Amino acid sequence: MNVLGKALLGFWESSIGKKLIVAVTGIMLVGFLVAHMVGNLLIYQGRESLNDYAYFLHHFLHGWGIWLFRIGLIVAFVLHITATISLVRQNRAARSSRYAFDATVQAPRSSRMMIWSGLTVVGFVIFHLLHFTVPVDPELANMKDPMDPSRHDVYGMVIEGFQNPLVVLFYIVAISFFCTHLNHGISSLFQTLGLRSEKTRGVIGKIGVAVTIVLWLGFLSIPFLTSVNVLKDEGVPDKAAAHGAPVENVTGS
């Protein structure tokens, strides 16, 4: 193995190396979530804004942009999970050798919660990708933008996708679990990076709670408001009227 390979392996095998990987990939994933939530909120500006945004995402850098971004996201996601599992195993092994005679010793409650809420995230992402990214429902997959039938109607798909109350309930439960994971993850992240001390603990806790609440409200507002019919597909606006142009006299009189 060459020098670089040995250095990378040494980094991966050390506990601090793995913690850094969990922290850095965690920051990347939170960055994705904030960007994804802001992008989703364009739904409140209407069909044109959301569909323009989705069209841009799928076509920037001649369509390569989204794939580069997806590869980065998958690598971050896989590294985040593998490094976490490996750290948990390492800690468990260290703990069981330290407490070889104490059968009652268990992993701390918070880290067990992190594993379960993390698994919910994986389940949610798989469902969500099949719901909106590669929709298995042909009705959602084939929706065309009524103002430009050459492109996908992401706006219509999201609203139609939240017409089923069970789907809405699933999103509410899964995203709420996911937010508990995020809240705990954000404060652990500061600790890993050596930024959490007695002095900063309070502020860091508040940052974690604030980021989590903003994401929770931002994401869940869409399925919730759709399910109570506040957010609905209003059809195609009359472009001329929308831009304040005088309405033509259709009778010609």
Q: Which positions lie near ligand HEM, rule CB under 6 A?
A: 33, 36, 40, 54, 70, 121, 124-125, 128-129, 132-133, 154, 158, 171, 175, 178, 219, 222-223
- Which residues share a beta bridge with 152? 144
Select 175 or 204, whichever has its Cβ closest to ligand HEM.
175
Sign of CA dihedral 226, 231, 233, 234: positive
Question: Shortest approach of ligand HEM to residue 125 CB, angstroms?
Answer: 5
The closest alpha carbon to 165, from 111, 119, 122, 227, belongs to 227
Q: Which amino acid is at 135?
A: P
Residues across the chain: 253
Q: Which amino acid is at 32?
A: F
Please count the other Cβ atoms lying within 10 Å of the Cβ belonging to residue 184: 17
Helices assigned H by DSSP within 14-63: 15-40, 47-59
The closest alpha carbon to 232, from 224, 240, 242, belongs to 224
Contact 187/205 with Cβ under 8 angstroms? yes
Q: Please report, to the nearest 10 degrees, the dihedral formed by the alpha carbons of residues 217, 25, 199, 202 taken in order.
A: 20
Q: At what angle do helices 165-192 and 109-128 cross, to 10 degrees?
A: 130
How open is the CA angle 210-214-218, to the nearest 5 degrees? 175
Given the structure tokens 């089923």, which residue do they identify? 164
Given the structure tokens 């959490």, which residue do they identify? 196
